[in-house]
Structure 1
Amino acid sequence: MTGKRVTSLDVARRAGVSRSVVSAVINGTQGIGVSNEKRQAVLDAMMELNYHVDAQARAMKTGKSYCIAAFGDTSNALFLQMLEGAQRACAGHGYTVLLVGEASREEAREELIHLYLQRRIDGIISLDGPGYQNEAWAQRLLELDIPYISVEGYAENDHICSVLADYGDSVTAALNYLESRHEQVPIYLRMTADWPTDNWAERARLEAYLQYCQAKQAAPVVHTLPKEHVDAMESLLLAIHREQGTQIYLSNWVDGAIDLYRAAARLNLTIGQDLYVMSADNTYRISDHMVPRLSAMAVPYKAMGEQAVELLMAQIHGDGEPPDGASCWLKAELLPGESS
């Protein structure tokens, strides 16, 4: 075939099938039954002939670009984890991912709409902070019937399909794990940052802790501290250790566990002996690299990215939203360590 562009007809002849079968395999055409044997024969022929699909021609024929946009902050470790899952799921559907990393600019969301109207993408996935709800933009998406999935955003909007982590369950699971190892009810560390943290996720975490204490008929102990303020953590840890001795600490974020490790080192206290520590998340995937290894709940951002793609494909190809409503909830995974 040297010097000549390979066509779908060449693939059909090599595979011993009709051109319509080749088209069905390439485009996922509905209504044309293709056996696994014929499908594999077509794929083998494409590889042998080094055949590549003409994306523009396929788009004209199917009305699909076979590309979705992933929108988020590329400096955010959570976005990169979500993107990992989204890319893996897209590959299984024959889709590529267009990375749009300007989540700090609200006007960039309008650019996503332009990409869709230009038929350069078939849908949008965005990683939004818990509590994010841009109602005006959401309304634009609904009016234009743009396939869209939010990861972590629009939790309280019944019209936008969201993939959400069950943060309340993650705290409950952490408390149950700690209870299997200790009799004491943990102290809850509610870390804050220089952005709004009074959102549904943090409320769910705190409510799970309060409900646990109520069920155990124990007085809840909650301390709110800014993250990355080790001096404040050191003062708190010193006061508690002097008055109450060995205690168990459950932090809403892994940042709290990091600050506890640093404060304990300053005070010559040993994690896993003088105090016990667990985190309700593992944002930076560092629990295995902490000494001692940190016990944590891993929020499944990779799986959330995969689930977002599956839901988006259902919208793109006309299968609608999930039957249980606009939100899909995923549970965190327990990562036992040596710190608790």
Structure 2
Amino acid sequence: MEEEKNMDYQVMEMQKELALRIERFSGEDGVNSTAIPSLHFIRASDASEPIHSIHEPALCIVAQGAKLVMLAQDSYQYDPSHYLVVSVDLPISGTIIQATPEFPYLCLRLDFDPKQVFDIISGSGQTLSKIRDSQRGLFVSKTNSSLLDAVLRLVRLLDTPQDIPVIAPLVIREILYHILQDEQGDSIKQMAMIGSHAHRIAKVIDQIKRDFTKPLRIEELVMTANMSASSLHHHFKQVTRMSPLQYQKQLRLQEARRLMLSGQMDAANAGFQVGYESPSQFSREYSRMFGLPPKSDIKRLLEA
């Protein structure tokens, strides 16, 4: 019991230091880049409405505040006690639920790619546990002192930028090793293991992202995955919690919203640009996803 209390105290002290350092290197609210290309700090002074995005593979650690993430109908909350890992590109919506000007939301995001994971697996002789099915490409797990210690050592390198090129890759490798050791680590390993069902689904996701404005052809995805149509749908849903068609729809609608927000296009042209032939279908599906028709939604966002 005493050892557990000491561990909790260590974690709390490291979280305090991490919060101070994120605050120091975050010039303003939003996503702030750092001298380490894959490391970003996120700051927010207020709670937010749902923000839709395509979340690429990354580790997210909250030092202060809390966030709720939705993947299809599944919800995940993470805070200083829990970290989030996304192992494949996923359309999600995220809502900051705890943040004030006095105690802003402070989060660290470390991007990574499957090759880094594969190199660690190969170098350490790790294997996938005996799992019968693909696992979802997102999980939340309890933050521990070993992971936080490595993360802090990475963040401290920002004070000695001359050390970053040599030391940062080593520390990032250690951080990834720690999350691979997590009880849910197979969720990441499966994406890097060539030939696994999840690795094949990752290839299908890349194809859908590349051609999302074109009609979805299941027979082409089946060839990419080297699976039957039923197996493809099953494993795709296990990883992403949606069908290939639903995944494509998310990509289309998010890109259309971006085009309208940037002022490049009106609703009709944005819908056509991302692959919709029917303006009414585009408006109907847009309203279902974002809660308002395109014109009303963009007006609300611009006013906000």
For this structure pair, what is the TM-score category when the shorter chain's length is used for normalisation?
A: under 0.3
- Normalising to structure 1: TM-score of the pair? 0.23
The structure with higher relative contact order (CA 8 Å, sep 6+) is: 1
- Kindly indicate which of the two structures has a greater share of residues assigned to helix: 2
Q: Tell me which structure has the larger Cα radius of gyration.
A: 1
